[in-house]
C-alpha cells in the first residue's frame, strides 16, 4: 500500500511540475506577445481606474509613499499606460528624486503620442539639478512640437527666466564663466 501512495505522490508531483512549466511557458508567450499582467490576470479596466484615482488622491494629499506604491502597482500591471508612469514620475519629482523622475518622464514621453507634458516636467527636474542646458532643451522641444497653448506658455516662461538668469550672470562682477560651464 505504501508503494501505491509513493507512486501516486510522485505522479501528482510530476503533474504539478508539468502544469507549472506549461503555465510559465504560456505566461512568457503572452508577455512576449505584448500582454500586460492586467490582461493575464484579467483585472477589469474599471478596477485599474479606481486604483489610479486612489493613487492620484494620495498624490494630491501629499501622501507620497502611498501614491508611489499604487502608481508602481499600476505600472507593473499595465506598463503601456503613460498616465501611470507619469504619476510615478510626478511622485519622484515631489520627493526630489529628480534623476529618477527624469528617467520616468522619458519613458512616459516614449509611450505617449504628442503629449509634451513629460518633456516640460523633465525640464523642471533638470532645473532643480542645475542642468540649465538640458532644461532649456526640454522647454525648446515643448515650444517646437506641442500644440497645447498652456504648455507652450509655461515652456516659454521658463525659457525667458533662464535667459534672464544667464543675462544677470553675465552682467555680474567677477568671472562666473568657470562655474556656468559645469551646468
pLDDT in tens, 51-75: 899 999 999 999 999 999 999 999 8
Confidence of residue 39 (pLDDT cuts 50, 70, 90): low
* Range with the poorest average pLDDT among 10-19, 23-32, 37-46, 109-118: 23-32
Phi and psi at residue 86, to the nearest 5°? -65, -40
Task: Give the other-Cβ count within 10 Å of 128's Cβ.
Answer: 14
Total-model pTM: 0.72
CA–CA gap between residue 18 and residue 1 (Å, rounded): 26
Query: What per-residue confidence (pLDDT) applies to 180?
Result: 42
For the chain, which domains are there? Answer: 38-172 (1.25.40.10)
Query: What per-residue confidence (pLDDT) applies to 24?
Result: 58
CA–CA gap between residue 98 and residue 113 (Å, rounded): 23
CA–CA gap between residue 101 and residue 89 (Å, rounded): 4
Q: What CA–CA distances, in Å, run from 125 to 53, 108, 121, 150, 181?
A: 25, 15, 6, 19, 19
- The share of the chain scoring above pLDDT 70, in percent, equals 72
Which candidate, 82, 83, 85, 77, places its Cα nearest to that of 35?
Answer: 77
Amino acid at each position: 500500500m505504501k508503494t501505491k501512495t509513493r507512486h501516486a505522490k510522485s505522479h501528482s508531483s510530476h503533474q504539478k511540475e508539468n502544469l507549472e512549466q506549461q503555465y510559465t511557458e504560456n505566461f512568457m508567450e503572452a508577455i512576449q506577445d505584448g500582454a500586460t499582467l492586467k490582461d493575464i490576470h484579467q483585472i477589469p479596466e474599471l478596477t485599474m481606474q479606481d486604483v489610479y484615482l486612489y493613487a492620484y488622491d494620495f498624490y494630491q494629499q501629499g501622501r507620497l509613499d502611498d501614491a508611489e506604491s499604487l502608481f508602481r502597482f499600476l505600472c507593473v500591471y499595465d506598463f503601456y499606460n503613460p498616465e501611470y508612469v507619469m504619476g510615478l514620475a510626478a511622485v519622484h519629482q515631489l520627493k526630489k528624486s529628480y534623476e529618477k523622475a527624469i528617467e520616468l518622464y522619458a519613458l512616459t514621453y516614449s509611450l505617449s503620442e504628442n503629449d509634451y507634458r513629460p518633456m516640460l516636467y523633465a525640464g523642471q527636474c533638470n532645473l532643480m539639478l542645475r542642468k540649465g542646458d538640458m532644461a532649456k532643451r526640454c522647454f525648446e522641444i515643448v515650444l517646437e512640437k506641442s500644440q497645447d497653448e498652456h504648455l507652450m506658455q509655461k515652456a516659454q516662461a521658463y525659457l525667458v527666466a533662464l535667459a534672464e538668469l544667464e543675462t544677470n550672470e553675465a552682467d555680474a562682477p567677477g568671472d562666473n564663466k568657470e562655474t556656468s560651464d559645469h551646468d
